[in-house]
Amino acid sequence: MLDWLYSIVAQLIVWIHTGLSSVGIDKDSGWAWGGSIILLTVLLRLLLVPLFVKQIHASRKMQELNPKVQALRKKYKNDKQRLNQEVMKLYQENGANPLSGCLPILVQMPVFIGLFQVLKRISDAKPGEGVFAVTPDLVSSAQKANIFGAHIPDTFLNAFGADPKSWSAIVITGIAVVISSCTTFFTVRASMKRQPVTDENNPMMQAQKMMVFLAPLFGLFGLGFPLGVLMYWVTSNSWTLVQQHYIYSKYPPLGANGEPAAGTATGKGGKAAPAPTGIKAKLKKDADPVPEPEDKPKAVRNQPTRKPRSKRSGTPKR
């Protein structure tokens, strides 16, 4: 059913592999096939930059609306249905979409699944058999290509269960699983640290905190992923970490009250941050109007009250 998707991913890998082979890299080496996967990942992430910008913009919009959402939670705490209606109405009126943050992940998943299936079928292919857009000769080349003794289609479970065991494949795929798990953990953790603390009892907040601790467990699934898929996973997570650090260093997250966090409004040395351009300008939210200074109260001069003559002269009043 998804053969068309697998064919597209396979064709992209073949094109990139051909390009790397034309610049002097041995077409049968693991570096040519591994480089094809890495470049495919970089190409995809470059195409996703506009979606990431939109994701950050949507996230800041949600943070700006957070105080109003909290007010609605208090107002309709005993009426969940009315609360959901009012919150969705608030989002619609302000052009906020809670699902915008999921766009980059949704776009990456088909490529991840497609790459997994292509590499798995290359690993299981018989001599003289082609896989989608990969010719039989290229399938044979990919099966024999290795990086430090580990083949691109190798998985940790297959390498560990082989007889005789290939310890180089076990070590390389094991290291790739550990790195992929760590990068997944730090990616989720970095995203969580930049979210404002709102309502501790909010189920979504609790689920996000749980994701931080469950992220390393995703590495267990990596034990069955081919080395090429792990390379894609590590490259994508590393790109995300660098991208998040750059964007959020320029545009720090808002606080729980919807305002910039303390100590982030100025640049280095206490100077005002320079005006953003290009992508930065897209992320910059509209500045809040500066309130006009209130009129200073007029100074009231206290006039001395006229005292009775008796008090001025010091003589007792008759």
Say whether 184 sits in a helix, a strand or coil. Answer: helix
Contacting residues for 143 by C-beta, under 8 A, at least 6 apart: 122, 123, 125, 151, 153
pLDDT in tens, the chain (318 residues): 778 888 998 999 999 999 998 988 888 888 899 899 999 889 888 888 887 777 777 777 777 887 888 888 888 888 888 888 888 888 888 777 766 666 667 777 888 888 888 888 888 888 888 888 889 999 889 888 888 888 888 889 888 888 788 888 899 989 998 898 888 888 777 766 665 544 454 444 555 566 666 666 777 788 888 888 888 888 988 988 888 788 777 766 555 444 555 444 444 444 444 445 554 555 444 444 444 445 445 555 555 555 555 555 555 554
Q: Look up the pTM and report it.
A: 0.67
Residue 259: DSSP 8-state = S
Question: Which structure tokens are listed for 52?
Answer: 């990431």
- Answer for the pair 69, 204: CB distance below 8 angstroms, yes or no: no
Contacting residues for 198 by C-beta, under 8 A, at least 6 apart: 66, 69, 70, 205, 256
Picking from 63, 44, 40, 41, the residue whose alpha carbon sits closest to that of residue 52 is 44
